[in-house]
Amino acid sequence: MAEPLLATRRGDSSSAGHDADPAKTVVTTPGEPITTTASFMRGHGTFVEDETVVSAVAGVVERINKLITVKALKARYSGEIGDVVVGRITEVAQKRWKVDVNSRQDAVLMLSAINLPGGIQRRKSESDELRMRTFFTEGDLVVAEIQSHYSDGAIALHTRSLKYGKLRNGTLVKIPPALVQRSRSHFHALPCGVDVILGVNGYIWVSKHVDMETIEANPEEIYSSKNDRISPDERQMIARVANCIVALTRHFVHIHETSILYAYEASLQHPIKDLVTSDISSDIALEVRDKLQV
C-alpha cells in the first residue's frame, strides 16, 4: 500500500500534533487511505479496512507518536475531563439534571455533584431530591467542570466549587468550540467591569462583575435566579463585550482574554450595535490580529 500522505511528514517529527503551518498540513476526505496498520494505530476520525487506516471525516491529519487521528474542523464539542463548560439545564430527572453542553448528547449533573447552599457538606437526602428545582430548573444556565465520562460517551459534570454554579446577570454567546482553546483560566474579570467565562464547549457567558468576597459573604444566594440591578452603563458594557466576541468569531479569531481586550479597545470608537456589521467587524478583527502578532 502506498503511503503518499504521510511521506511528507515522516522526516520532521516536530510538526506532529498541532501544526500551525497550513502548507504542511495534510487534508483528507472520507474514504481516503492514510497508511497501513502495520506501523500505526487508528484514532478518532479514522477506521481500519483491509489493514489500512482510512480517513472517516474531512479534516486535518494529526500524528502523535504512532496514533493517527483526523480532526474535522467543524465537529461538535467532545468533552475532556477538567474542561470548564457552560451549559443549559434541559431536564430534571431522578437525582440528576440533564445539561445541554453543545455535545453529542446531554451531559449529566448528579445531585451528589453539586454544593448545597451555605456550603454544608453532607449526603444528599430524599428531601434534597424533592427540592432539586430550587437549585437548578429547566432553562437555567450553569458553569461546571467535566468530572468524568460514562461508558457510552456521555459527560458527567460537577459544580463542587464556588467558581461553578448557576449563572445570572449576563448574556450567553454561542461560538464554534474550535475557537476556544483550553487554558489555565477560563474565568476572566475584564478591566471594563465585565466578567467573561469561556466555556470550552463554545458557550461563552458575559456578565456583570461580581467579586469572590460577595459570593462568599452570601453563600445562600448561589442558587438565586433573580438578577441584580444592572445599570444602563453595565448593560451596555456587557452588550459591547458580547458583540466584540461575535465580531471576532465571524472572522475566525480565537477567543481568549487578550483578544477580547484588544477587540474591546478597538470597538470603543463605534456604537455597540454597529459592531456586528460586516465592515466594522472585519476592521476590528484585523486590528486585533495585528496586535496579537506583535
Q: Which stretches of the chain bind other proteins, using CB under 8 A?
A: 19-22, 25, 27, 29-31, 45, 47, 49, 54, 56-60, 72-76, 90, 98, 100, 104-106, 152-154, 178-179, 252, 289
Of the pair 41, 75, the CB lying nearest other proteins is at: 75
Of the pair 175, 237, the CB lying nearest other proteins is at: 175
Distances (CA, A) of 181 to 2, 52, 199: 35, 32, 9
Of the pair 26, 238, the CB lying nearest other proteins is at: 26
Shortest distance in whole angstroms from residue 119 CB to other proteins: 32
Distances (CA, A) of 278 to 175, 262, 283: 17, 18, 9
Counting Cα atoms < 13 Å in the Cβ hemisphere of 220 gives: 0
Shortest distance in whole angstroms from residue 257 CB to other proteins: 19
Of the pair 29, 214, the CB lying nearest other proteins is at: 29
Residue 9, C-beta contacts closer than 8 angstroms, at least 6 positions apart? 15, 16, 24, 26, 61, 63
The answer to whether 112 touches 122, Cβ cutoff 8 Å, is: no
Of the pair 101, 261, the CB lying nearest other proteins is at: 101
How far is 140 from 216, CA to CA, in rounded Å? Answer: 21
Shortest distance in whole angstroms from residue 31 CB to other proteins: 4
How far is 191 from 193, CA to CA, in rounded Å? Answer: 5
Rounding to the nearest 10 degrees, give the CA dihedral for residues 135, 138, 141, 147: 70
Shortest distance in whole angstroms from residue 189 CB to other proteins: 28
Of the pair 105, 185, the CB lying nearest other proteins is at: 105
How far is 50 from 69, CA to CA, in rounded Å? Answer: 18
How far is 129 from 235, CA to CA, in rounded Å? Answer: 36
Residue 65: Cβ within 10 Å count: 10
